[in-house]
Structure 1
Amino acid sequence: MSSSAASGGSSQRMFQLKTDPLTGKSEWVVIEEEEEDNGNQTTTKALLATTSYLDMLNDTRRNRAYRQAIDKTVTKPCHVLDIGAGTGLLSMMAARAMGLDSKGSSSSTGMVTACESYLPMVKLMRKVFRANGMDGKIRVINKRSDELEVGLDIPARADILVSEILDSELLGEGLIPTLQHAHDKLLVENPQTVPYRATTYGQLVECSYLWELHDLVNREAEVSDGIHLDPSGMGGLLGVKKQQFAIHCDAIKEEIKLVTKMCSLNICSICYKSYREPFKVFDFDFWRRPDSSRETELQIKATNDGTVHAIISWWLLQLDSEGTIFYSTGPNWIRCPSDGKELKSSLLGSGNWCDHWKQSVWFTPSSRLPVFKDEEVQLHAVHTETSISYEFKTLNEKKEIAHLDFCTQDCQIVLSPERNALYGDSGWRCLMLNAIEKALQQIVHPLCLVADDSIFLTIAVAHLSKSAHVIPLFPGLGKKGSKYLQTVAAANDYTMDRIEILKKKKDLQSTLQDSRKINLLVAEPFYYGNDSVLPWQNLRFWKERTSLDSILSKDVLIMPCKGLLKACAVYLPDLWQSRRSLLEIEGFDHAIVNTTLGACGDLPVTEDGPFLPFFVWQCGESKILSEMTTILELDFSKPTSPCSGKTQFQFRESGMCHGFVLWIDWVMDARDNIVLSTGPDKRYWKQAVKLLSKPVEVRDDDSSSTEIEAFFDPCNGELILKHAFLTNQR
């Protein structure tokens, strides 16, 4: 989503690009500055409902730490600047610490400036201020902080900076350039800041799942199906971006082996320093102007034989200058082993699940970096203004062997880690190839339309059938996809004369000359760059199939031929807690933000929370409480039409039900029952989560069951879900 702003008169409007995932069409949505509700209110709520604001505001550890640090720092009247103010929570904390709260006006000369660039949040912040008697007591500026000018936007430089512009990697939200500009233009010399400092830490780990997420080359070498998505000698042609990825590593803690381990729990801080595991990478001081980039060399001693697949890293926030208030995003296996302050803070685990900050994972560029006990691994770390990167080498190697890059930038395809892992999964590949082979056996001269961005299916059809002609639509990949197909053609035993590349979708009709019609339409389904959508928002190919009905043969084969919308009841206490309605946060009323920010738990009966796209297996503590049941069937052999269905299921586990998980199982071949499941027991797909307003206690006997009814409208891609918990009299 992108946005732009234009000033005019006393108000400001912002244009946001909103994309319909079922059609691929985009439209600019106008968001006005005025406080009153207008025609865009529903749109604004939809844009904010699946953001991480609510999850962050439900993080009691974060809120308490900031409140304690602000109370310690703002001890007299001064000018406090809050950059990235959000709902204004930190601004209100600072105003209260100076006596500017609703309990009475202060005669001091103190002031608080709340700077927030995102207009919908500015509107919401003003409502929060009004609800807390802070309206008019805090100056609100709807600009980026680097657009602020002293003497124009603020009367003088600020004495104290409070901010929370941190992502899971720490730097990705522009922390460094924001601090640089603030120190240069907006803050007094030697200002006070909350937070005071951030430190990044890391551990070297061996984990087969993390290896699967990035090493397509070696995984594909272990599969003998004749399909080469990343052929030998073309490393980097297809794969994940060289960056840190945010992952809930606690979810895979049983699969992680620390290549270097910590000392015993009663170690002293001196021993810990010499051991250097977890190792400190960089310190970032908020109270002084940071450098744009730095480098450091680390030597880490291995205590086990093993293979380094990744670095798991996190950060520790020191919020006060004295070093008594901390917040960590570390995994929960990092526990405090002693009372020593330095050791305690360095080894602090996160302690509770939250989705706004996870751990970061940097994949080893060499897919298998073996290390041996007592060997020293040399690690070169670099940070830029927005990211941290690593390069490995051991004492036995001058430098690790980099990926070869024989292709130009315009034919390299960057995938999400989950999509990369899926393309290397032998079970998935076997299932898809089996379905394609059975379809091709039924067609003499296949004319295949690949309706989505599946490079795998495009190559598979061309590879398996020498008579097949393939037309990939590639709505997201576009020209990059066609250049990629040309690059890998020889390795996959097909020629480009059997691949018909369209410049535009509207050229499809003219391409089909001599009354040729599509007799095979396939999709995974997969849409490039569409990684965070609800399962039914991947039904764009059904829309395509409908619009192209006139050029499909009467006996056209559609793959997948059906979609089964399935559901189960789940125990998800961590996710429910993170999305529950807000009341007070550290003494400030936030109830007004609930519907706008997509609250689910503790909603009034008349309100309905949104569907949330999540990898359920990464949602903290979880348990499937019921059988997995089909609610409705989607028939792709026919044009789109509204669908509905109803089902009832029993519970197989007793416990608290926090909601339902929904997903689509794709029926690739109904005759041979070839079904691809994307349920909560599968790691490579996100499911949809519908949380209940109140958790319901259920029993694994005949005394209770659930009835679910679903309605799907293909015109707008919306799914409506109704449910009822049934109690049987015994």
Structure 2
Amino acid sequence: MSLLSLVPKTFFPRHSFRCRSVTRLRSVAARTMSSQSSQRVFQLRQDPLTGNSEWIVIEENDQAGAPETSTDGLLATTSYLDMLNDSRRNRAYRLAIEKTITEPCHVLDIGAGTGLLSMMAARAMGEEEESGDSKGKVTACESYLPMVKLMRKILHKNGMSKNINLINKRSDELKVGSDIASRADVLVSEILDSELLGEGLIPSLQHAHDMLLVENPKTVPYRATTYCQLVESTFLCKMHDLQNNEAEKPDGVRLVPPGLESLFGVKSQQYGMHVDAIQKEIKLLSEPVKIFEFDFWKRPASNGELQVHIEAIHDGSVHAIVSWWVLQLDSEGTIFYSTAPRWIDSISEIGVRNWCDHWKQCVWFTPGAGVSISKGEKVHLHAAHTCTNILYNLNKTQSLTHSPLNTGDLHLTLPPERVAIYGDSIYRQSMFEATRNALQGKSQPQCLVIDDSLLLPLMALRIFNRSRVISLSPGLQENAARYLEAIAVSNGFSKDRFEYFREGKAKLAEVYPNKIDLLIGEPYYFGLESGLPWQNLRFWKDRTLLDSVLSKDAVVMPYKGVLRGCAMYLPDLWKSRCCLGSVEGFDHALVNTTLGGCGDLPSGKDSPCLPFFIWQCGETKKLSEEFTVMEFDFSKPITGPCSGEVQIEFVEPGVCHGIALWMDWVMDKENSTVVLTGPDERYWKQGVKLLGKPVRVKEEAPSSIRIQASLDPSSNGELIITHSFS
């Protein structure tokens, strides 16, 4: 059977994945509407406390050099700044462009961003030709209006406005004869993600070769090659093999009951991760293997397959496949850029390799407990690619196993970190004990689960055989309902004890006035995994809205949330987010405020809080004890704004780059069960507030720092963090 035949028949609109500006935005969608006089973008902005979204309008009405407008801050959570701080990438592109473009010609830049590659191309050609035709010009297309507005200002600042024709469209919307005078001789582009294909590289190249480029064009990059390696890692195994991890748990709850394995799992796709951070926990089971090669200079195929026989270099179990890519930027093969892990000897890297977050390695999890192999044994790796993904299937025989992609119409997928949490013994025991204590003294309790927890509904049913559970599952919705109903019998529960409430919170208050004895959550909201940890305070907002359904002696679990923090040494993260000056000879200082830089910001501007797995952020060190900034009492409804303040002493000498912040969840009034989510807990993201400038502490003044936080639930639900040294 072809591996491609197992891929769901999802319709991918042609080139809809190309635009970096949209795909690299976190939880943002945009749509445009054009007219003769102006263009508007409707930007989707979400209130993190309510989950509600509203469309805000971005007008196309400012001129080059004008002050920032409503676009200010919209791009602060993207990876543009991190990418522009990647000096190795920037230098490689500059050298390749200067080597490829040696005379005036027509250059097309797809996904132009800030215009760096376009300006490199224009500079490589020298002065603009007098003829005025498309020769000696750069056409730059960028579909995301806030980035277009920013690029215009950068071009103006660098004196490049006349050399570059900036078009606010996707590349597949360009037409020769109307948007551009003629086909382009050279293509420059950087439409790559950590997997390589996720930003729509293939459909973008297909359309460009069909409609926008001359025959046999020059391209930068010239070629991209993907590689992979078989690895054993208990840590990675825990992130996908819930069935085996929970098999011996004493709580008796089975999220993956025997025979129903296909109902639940990790989404079958490559997962971006800094695998260097777990190098000591990885056992290499094969040499690196070349998989696919994509040539930018010719039209790529939409799909591809190959089978590779890989020989094991050690005994072990293949828990995952680690993959990366190598970019050949010039046709002669002298300029390269690689995203390989540090244990791979680089082919021909340029400059010092620094930590960066815009490109990572990728992990593909093998099904179940992995594939057991012996040294010298050969396994069969079947690889396939679609327009946007690379897929793997590993087997010890020539025949392919049943792919986890083909699981029927019901397959609940969770992020790998959530799978690992649900398989963690300490976490499950804590949740079980907290739920059991909350149910004590209740005769026939009615439990309301208001978040997307899958574990708590089953635990409430298991602990007390007369309990009844109502679930809202606002993120997973109908999928969660069908999943819980499907596994109820396997866990020994009658279906009439569980209800997924489909009619919304307002109707819930009519159906269950003063009837809920236990309102619970982990808290966990599906879809907020990439957000800041305090966005799960949505639990408090929902609890407030549902106050009327609670009985007189109702218990709310968790009892409170605690905002915790720690001053940290974060040199790699700070360098990746620091303000820009000159990038390969082009002034980029204008982007610093908009892209959320830290460093020399204008007065009144501050760097944003951003979510990261701190343990994956390169070199790190704690400089203070962990401290509490403020607490949120969930036993009571929200009554208004709340704030907190703390002054802490540094306990370690060093350079402070920022404050790590996270939420700990106190499950009961007695503080006997607390879920910790700080930097030492690797399955949770933390928020990071980077300082404007790094500060040397302890050995020299200052010796302490004051942290202030405030939250106004009636506004946009954002947590405001400020600090001062003393």
2:140 and 2:326 map into 1 onto residues whose CA distance is 25
1:646 and 1:379 map into 2 onto residues whose CA distance is 55
CA contact (8 A) 2:642 2:710 kept: yes
Query: AA paired with 1:256?
Result: I
For residues 185-237 of structure 1, what are the alpha-carbon distances to aligned partners after superposition, in whole Å with 9 as ceiling and x for unaligned? 10001000000000111111001111111111111113231111111111131
Unpaired runs of at least 5, structure 1? 261-276, 337-343
Counterpart in the other structure of 1:691: 690
Counterpart in the other structure of 1:2: 29
Counterpart in the other structure of 1:566: 564
Query: AA paired with 2:723?
Result: H
What is the deviation of 1:74?
Answer: 0.8
CA contact (8 A) 1:328 1:349 kept: no
1:608 and 1:195 map into 2 onto residues whose CA distance is 36
1:4 and 1:591 map into 2 onto residues whose CA distance is 28
1:703 and 1:164 map into 2 onto residues whose CA distance is 43
1:413 and 1:100 map into 2 onto residues whose CA distance is 58
Secondary structure of 2:662's match?
strand
Counterpart in the other structure of 1:317: 327
- 1:372-383 to 2 correspondences below 5 Å: 372-383=374-385
- CA 10–702 in structure 1, closer or farther in 2 if over 3 Å, else same: closer
2:436 and 2:400 map into 1 onto residues whose CA distance is 45
Counterpart in the other structure of 1:509: 509
For residues 639-684 of structure 1, what are the alpha-carbon distances to aligned partners after superposition, in whole Å with 9 as ceiling and x for unaligned? 1132222212222221110000001110001315211111011011
Counterpart in the other structure of 2:607: 609
Counterpart in the other structure of 1:717: 717
What is the deviation of 1:399?
Answer: 4.0
1:310 and 1:700 map into 2 onto residues whose CA distance is 45
CA contact (8 A) 2:519 2:557 kept: yes
- 1:298-447 to 2 correspondences below 5 Å: 298-336=308-346, 344-345=347-348, 351-395=353-397, 398-400=399-401, 408-409=408-409, 411-447=410-446
What is the deviation of 1:477?
Answer: 1.6
Counterpart in the other structure of 2:637: 639
Q: Give the aligned CA root-mean-square deviation in angstroms.
A: 2.2
Counterpart of 2:290 (choices 251, 256, 280) is 280
- 1:261-276 to 2 correspondences below 5 Å: none
Counterpart in the other structure of 2:12: none
What is the deviation of 1:239?
Answer: 1.3
Counterpart in the other structure of 1:255: 281
What is the deviation of 1:412?
Answer: 2.2
Secondary structure of 1:152's match?
coil
- CA 13–554 in structure 1, closer or farther in 2 if over 3 Å, else same: same
- CA 78–701 in structure 1, closer or farther in 2 if over 3 Å, else same: closer
Counterpart in the other structure of 2:113: 86
- 1:43-192 to 2 correspondences below 5 Å: 44-100=71-127, 109-192=135-218
What is the deviation of 1:556?
Answer: 1.8
Counterpart in the other structure of 1:339: none
Secondary structure of 2:147's match?
helix
Query: AA paired with 2:658?
Result: G
2:113 and 2:215 map into 1 onto residues whose CA distance is 26
Instruction: Among all aligned residue pairs of Structure 1 and Structure 2, give the percentage whose two residues are the same amino acid.
Output: 59
What is the deviation of 1:403?
Answer: 5.3
- 1:531-610 to 2 correspondences below 5 Å: 531-610=529-608
Secondary structure of 1:250's match?
helix
Query: AA paired with 2:355?
Result: W
Counterpart of 1:220 (choices 237, 240, 246) is 246
What is the deviation of 1:41?
Answer: 6.2
CA contact (8 A) 1:99 1:106 kept: no
Is 1:19 aligned to residue 46 of structure 2?
yes
1:64 and 1:348 map into 2 onto residues whose CA distance is 8
What is the deviation of 1:324?
Answer: 0.8
1:656 and 1:246 map into 2 onto residues whose CA distance is 29
For residues 143-178 of structure 1, what are the alpha-carbon distances to aligned partners after superposition, in whole Å with 9 as ceiling and x for unaligned? 111111110110000000000000000011110111
For residues 122-156 of structure 1, what are the alpha-carbon distances to aligned partners after superposition, in whole Å with 9 as ceiling and x for unaligned? 11111111111112321011111111111011000
2:145 and 2:395 map into 1 onto residues whose CA distance is 47
Secondary structure of 2:292's match?
strand
Secondary structure of 2:355's match?
coil
Normalised to the residue count of structure 1, the TM-score between the two structures is 0.92
Query: AA paired with 1:298?
Result: V
- CA 34–223 in structure 1, closer or farther in 2 if over 3 Å, else same: same
Query: AA paired with 2:329?
Result: L
Unpaired runs of at least 5, structure 2? 1-27
CA contact (8 A) 1:22 1:538 kept: yes
Secondary structure of 2:239's match?
helix
- CA 39–435 in structure 1, closer or farther in 2 if over 3 Å, else same: farther
Counterpart in the other structure of 2:14: none
- CA 118–702 in structure 1, closer or farther in 2 if over 3 Å, else same: closer
For residues 297-331 of structure 1, what are the alpha-carbon distances to aligned partners after superposition, in whole Å with 9 as ceiling and x for unaligned? 21111121111011111000010111111100011
CA contact (8 A) 1:536 1:717 kept: no
CA contact (8 A) 2:378 2:396 kept: yes
Query: AA paired with 2:417?
Result: E
CA contact (8 A) 1:331 1:350 kept: no
What is the deviation of 1:722?
Answer: 2.3
What is the deviation of 1:365?
Answer: 2.2
- CA 238–348 in structure 1, closer or farther in 2 if over 3 Å, else same: farther
Number of aligned residue pairs: 695
Query: AA paired with 1:155?
Result: A
Counterpart in the other structure of 2:23: none
Counterpart in the other structure of 1:472: 471
Counterpart of 1:521 (choices 508, 519, 522) is 519
2:57 and 2:462 map into 1 onto residues whose CA distance is 48
What is the deviation of 1:569?
Answer: 0.4
- CA 37–651 in structure 1, closer or farther in 2 if over 3 Å, else same: same
- CA 702–675 in structure 1, closer or farther in 2 if over 3 Å, else same: farther
